[in-house]
Amino acid sequence: MDQRTPVVILGAGYTGLVIHALGQARGLRVMAGSRSPDEHLASIPASQRLRFDLARPQTWADIPEQARLVWCFPAVPETLVQDFAERVAPRVSRLVVLGSTSAYEPSPPQKAGAAAPLINEASPLNLALPRVRGEEWLRTHCQAIVLRSAGIYGPGRHVLDWVRQGRVTASQRYVNLVHVEDLAYICLAALERGKAGESYNVSDGQPRQWAEICRTARDRWGVESSGENRQQGVGPGKRLSIVKLQTELGYTVLHPDLYEALDAIENAAHHKLESL
């Protein structure tokens, strides 16, 4: 990647801040965008912060010419996305948009015991969702690269906490997850060598059932779900294929083993508590 062309993160929240840190470590010129940069990006030097608000087009002018953009928030409302596509996209060199696997059509009802469907990039999209229409607009009109991400976890977004808090229970539903560090590296890989106008699924490549995760949480860490099951949805879930990410983008997942990654997050949290 050309070190001089700035990478600009639009919406530097949980994932964007990791992209910023990894990009800096690689010697890239990275700028982090926020609607309230002084408040939300205080940990970043002022020279690397950018005020950016999709709802305030006057802030768009601060995006440097030829920048490589990573868009890290839902691509809505459509009118503003289309306006951005017309006014900003032609003057930047690359655009990577973070989407979600919820873009794929909800799975039809399955027979009891049937496996959840395997989803690849050719699977039908749910264009009833405004954000999916926004992403597709950017992909088809501006050659954006769309990354359809699985559920993001990592330090501060801990799967075991979701179990502890009863936000998930031991259902047979499939879930796909990705460590934020992998997602951030994949964003940089997509900027560098993603094919313009393509979409790539992003996960750790290991669809799992919540029942298995909850069982492992109990056996390995003694963490039990309180069983309120507020956020899991219905149906069999999806099993995400990341063959395209691996073969065409050439990315090798750093955290394919969820449980090893959770161990590392859990240990780091304990060390932090002990040092207080």
Ligand X SMILES: NC(=O)c1ccc[n+]([C@@H]2O[C@H](COP(=O)([O-])OP(=O)(O)OC[C@H]3O[C@@H](n4cnc5c(N)ncnc54)[C@H](OP(=O)(O)O)[C@@H]3O)[C@@H](O)[C@H]2O)c1
Residue 200 found at the interface with ligand X (CB under 6 A): no
- From the CB of residue 122, how many other CB atoms can be counted at a distance below 10 Å? 8
* Residue with the CB atom nearest ligand X in the bound state: 13
Query: Binding string to ligand X for residues 38 to 67, with x set by CB under 6 A, is what?
Result: --x-----------xxxx------------
Does residue 11 belong to the site contacting ligand X (CB under 6 A)? Answer: yes
| Residue 135 to residue 144: CA distance in whole angstroms | 8
Distance CA 137, CA 144 (A): 9
Centre a 10 Å sphere on the Cβ of residue 215 and count the other Cβ atoms it contains: 12
Burial group, residue 21, by CB count within 10 angstroms (0-12, 13-18, 19+): middle
Q: Binding string to ligand X for residues 17 to 36, with x set by CB under 6 A, is what?
A: -----------------xxx
Contact in structure between 167 and 228 (CB atoms under 8 Å): yes
Residue 210 interacts with ligand X (CB under 6 A): yes or no: no
For residue 263, give the amino acid letter. Answer: D
Rounded least distance, CB 10 to ligand X, Å? 6
Choose between 34 and 169: whose C-beta lies nearer to ligand X: 34
Q: How far apart are CA 100 and CA 105, in angstroms?
A: 12
User: Is residue 159 a contact partner of residue 206, using CB atoms and an 8 Å limit?
Assistant: no
Single out the residue of 6, 7, 15, 190 in contact with ligand X (rule: CB under 6 A): 15
84 sits near ligand X (criterion: CB under 6 A): no
Which DSSP state fits 46?
Answer: G
Under the binding rule (CB under 6 A), the answer on residue 74 touching ligand X is yes
Q: Which 170-199 residues touch ligand X, going by CB under 6 A?
A: none
Q: In angstroms, how far is the first alpha carbon of the chain from the final one?
A: 40
CA angle 172, 102, 165 (to 5 degrees): 55
- Residue nearer to ligand X on the CB measure, 64 or 218: 64
Residue 31 vs 273, nearer CB to ligand X? 31
**Which listed residue (85, 92, 98, 245) binds ligand X by CB under 6 A?**
98
Among 31, 103, 142, 152, binds ligand X (CB under 6 A): 152
**Which residues contact ligand X (rule: CB under 6 A)?**
11, 13-16, 34-36, 40, 52-55, 72-74, 98, 100, 149, 151-152
